[in-house]
Each structure stands twice: as C-alpha cells, then as structure tokens.
Amino acid sequence: MEDLTSGDGVLRRGTGGSLRQLSWPEVQRIAYLGVDAHMLHLEWGDPQNQQGSPPWERWQRYIEGCLGEYVFADAIGAPWDGHIEDYKAIDVVHPEYGGFEVRTRGRCDFDLLLYGPNNIDRAGNSKASKDLPYVLLTGYFGAYVCRGWINGKEATEGVNPDGTAKYWNPNGFRSGGGCYVIPQQHLQPLSLLISGWDDRGYRGMRFSF
C-alpha cells in the first residue's frame, strides 16, 4: 500500500508534547481507512474484539485509532500505510527506532489500557504480550498529545510486592471485562526512545479533550 506519511524523518511534534494538528483533508482521508478497517473486521467476525467498547462506539474507536497511528508515525518520520488488512501488524515501524504500538484515547486524563490475556488474535497470540513500546495519545478530531509509553511486557508481566499483577484490573473496561490499566504517571518519556524528541510539558498539557 502507499505510504500515507511524509516518511522524511522530520519530527513534526508541536509544543509541549502535542503532535501537529492534522488538516481536515487528512482527517477525512484517514477516517475512511478507519471505516474500511472496521468493515473488514466485522466481515472477519471482529477478531480484534474491541473489548470494553459497545458496538455503537466502535466506528469512533477504529477511526480515532487510525488517526492516532497516522499522526504519531508522521511525528517521528515513520512510514504508515494503514495496514488495515493485517490487524496483527505492528502499528508504526520506524527504520531506526523499531516498532511502536499506538493507543489513542479521548480525554486528556485517561490512562493507557491494554487488552487482557484472553484477547487473542487468530494465531492464538495475546495482543498485549508484545515486547514493544505502547504509546498513549490523547485527543480527537486530528489534535493529539503524546503522554508517554511503557513496554508491553512490563505492563502485562509486572507484579506488586505481594505478587499480584501490577496493572491488571478485572473491571478495567466501562462495559465490563478486565484489562491492564497503566496510569499516565507510570509512563516513560518518549525522549528515552527517540533522539531529539522534546518532552517538555507532555504530561501537564490540559486541553479540552
């Protein structure tokens, strides 16, 4: 598929951890990919099982998910083609910094949520067990802030001193079901992964998202 980002390696972040505001034509173009992805997954029996989101919210989740992946890829200068026909594909792959899983949520104070161990793909692999950085973006309608990242294995395998799972919450989703809930204050700054990234203010940004 065609690379939809510039892919030129130029960091396109805004100030204080915010990523650049997408233009309305960009939002429309990527939103269509989100619709296509949702339709494909419905045809496949919804293999991603958008756990925790009622059916009437899944259009938004797929669309905002695609927008978040796109703007993050553009911010770090990575190519992105949507990979809508391969839901097992890594969200964003940079030629120097490797792969990233991107999670996009609406409100600025929302935590990072990772699916539980029962959420598996068609190959039987847990979607939350990847040894990759999971990046949290917050925002919507083409305006997003990067809140930080955590390694997938750390998020899913970390334990408390008493031996209980550090981030597992059996009631983590609004509509029921468990997931890993990682508070924003436990996320690491992106500058630890990407040279030249400016983290100033990224946790303190408070937009009306």
**pLDDT tens digit sequence for 111-166:** 998 875 544 444 445 554 578 899 999 999 999 999 999 998 899 888 888 888 89
The pLDDT assigned to 183 comes to 94
Q: Which residues of the chain have pLDDT under 50?
A: 1, 7-11, 15, 47, 118-124, 128, 201-209
Name the residue among 103, 143, 138 with its Cα closest to residue 22.
143
Provide the residue type at 96 as one letter: E
Q: How far is CA 59 from CA 24, 64, 90, 113, 190, in A?
A: 18, 9, 21, 18, 29
Q: Are 11 and 197 in contact (CB under 8 A)?
A: yes
pLDDT at 36: 86
Distance of CA 188 to the CA centre of its chain: 15
Strand partners for 137: 104, 146
Q: Is the pTM of this model over 0.85?
A: no
pLDDT at residue 118, rounded to an integer? 47
For residue 49, give the 3-state DSSP assignment.
Answer: coil
The predicted pLDDT at position 102 comes to 93
Quick check: 7 and 78 in contact, CB under 8 A? yes
| Tokens 């917050």 found at | 138
